[in-house]
Amino acid sequence: MAQGTVLRGRGVSAGMAAAPVVHLAPPLPEPDAGEVVDQAEREAEAQAIHWAAVAVAEDLRARTAGASGEARAILDASRLLASDPELVSEATQLVRAEGRSAARAVWEIAATHEAALAALGGRMAERVADVRDVRDRIIAELLEVDMPGVPVRDEPFVLVAVDLSPADTAALDGGRCVALVTEQGGPTSHTAIIARALGLPAVVGVAGATAIPASTTVLVDGDRGAVEVEPARSRIEEAETAAVVVPFGGEGHLADGARLPLLANVGGAADAVAAAAAHAEGVGLFRTEFCFLDRAEAPTVAEQVEAYRGVLAAFPGRRVVVRTLDAGSDKPLPFANADDEENPALGVRGLRVARRSPGLLDDQLRALALAAEHESALVEVMAPMVATVEEAQDFASRARAAGLSRVGIMIETPAAALLAAELLEVVDFVSLGTNDLAQYTLAADRLLGDLGDLNDPWQPAVLRLIGLVGDAGRAAGKSVGVCGEAAGDPALAPVLAGLGVTSLSMTPRSLGRVAAVLAEVTTEQCRRAADAVRGAATVEEARAAASVVRTR
């Protein structure tokens, strides 16, 4: 590939990094379909599948123990899949009845499961990659060969792949990988989520990326969605400067001294400790579903109290906003969601789970109130996936009855954004989930890479809805937060402030960069930027308008 070639994709994790390319280890070859195991050896061959699955599950369990937050949840989901008795029993039966080799039997049964999931479409189709990952792990164990995946290197490298499995993506933590480039994937894929959590620049949907020869130096620009082949030395130096972590002093403010608290998004106690160490001013989004993901049954109130206290303890005397269970859609739970929804993104998810299982919500609110009694954090609770004033009223009544005084809701649907003024009459605050707000506003599945350009918080329709919510917050004198990925975008932060947002919550690695940009602009500049962006008709116009105002 010629020097200076620039490949375009979707930037899903901000930042720049330059290093030689390393390709993801290739997948295992398809086992021989013609091999037939002798009758006398079939039982031993079948048992080998069982023990290989046990070994894979144990390996994933060990890796899960060393991970945290979203990486931990993703690894544990793969572990549960490896422990699936249906996959093992069907594969062993194929060995006993047909004489397939153990590796071939696992391959064929996995293919059947993949086809069934793909046929379901939507979120269930996303699990195909998970099945293939576990298939390869079991087969590698059976054949006693190296598992395909992320190579181990002593020097920094850019990982290039068609796509990354959940376990591989989560395994990047602590390695020498400095950036990610994939041909597939979208802004809310596992690759994108973990890249942002680890602070790795990432560009997905890059056609032809795997054609870049190994060891070729590339520059990955996660802000522009670009991959530069053999860049000039000046560009490499620019990337090296950008890779330096910007420290956060613990207080977000504008150039004129106006305060804009910068908070952190966390999934559990380990995340909260890391966020506190990064000087986050509090927690703007505690994703409680990560305390539920590895469970076949809902955790008890006592178990929940322990999990919540671990987060609250990291922020004594500071604000912690807790989102109630956001099960459903891409995070289904066996005890909360049905398996037969045709369109789970529009189905029983978030607060709607309480329609079927009100006890789940009441137990969670009670556990949170008990945890708050034992810690000094300033606890606030909010419900996800609210669309009507009646839903907000019911949630507020339940939360206050449980002993929680500060109650809010997520603004993730256009309906909630349009009703913001009325909603703020019944709740104390709102928080914008920009990922889902973009998905529902543009009618574009946030997990579908082909529609990544639509799932962009810079879309004018999304920004105008945010402005409506900000206006309602100003009129009511109540806080309006942003806890979606947009909050961690340094270029967008001044616009959000100008639109009426009163706090931003993000991955801790983004705090310093966002704070640095905010400290350079005044309240008036932010409002001018917001006004200019509100008049934009396209994403490009919105970005350009914000940039021009900031430089005045």
Residue closest to 370 by CA, chosen among 312, 409, 327, 438: 312
| Separation CA 247–CA 237 (nearest Å) | 20
Q: Using DSSP bridges, classify how beta strands 10-13 and 177-182 pair: parallel, antiparallel or unpaired.
A: unpaired
| Separation CA 410–CA 214 (nearest Å) | 45
Among residues 113, 177, 190, 291, the one annotated as catalytic is 190
- Residue 50 known to be catalytic: no
Strand partners, 410: 431
DSSP strands (E only) in 366-478: 378-383, 407-411, 429-432
Query: Do 337 and 397 contact (CB within 8 A), yes or no?
Result: no
| Separation CA 266–CA 322 (nearest Å) | 10
Question: What is the rounded (10 degree) CA torsion for 284, 246, 75, 169?
Answer: 130
Q: Which residues have C-beta within 8 Å of that of residue 239, sequence separation ≥ 6?
A: 16, 17, 18, 219, 221, 231
Query: Do 336 and 360 contact (CB within 8 A), yes or no?
Result: yes
| Separation CA 89–CA 150 (nearest Å) | 30
Return the biggest CA–CA distance within the chain: 82
Q: In what order do the strands lie in the sheet with 10-13?
A: 6-8, 226-229, 217-221, 16-23, 157-161, 177-182, 202-204, 10-13
Instruction: Indicate the residue type of 12.
Output: V
| Separation CA 328–CA 483 (nearest Å) | 19
| Separation CA 16–CA 372 (nearest Å) | 40
| Separation CA 117–CA 126 (nearest Å) | 8
Among residues 113, 177, 291, 483, the one annotated as catalytic is 483
- Residue 113 known to be catalytic: no
Residue 328 DSSP code: B
Q: Which residues are catalytic?
A: 190, 483
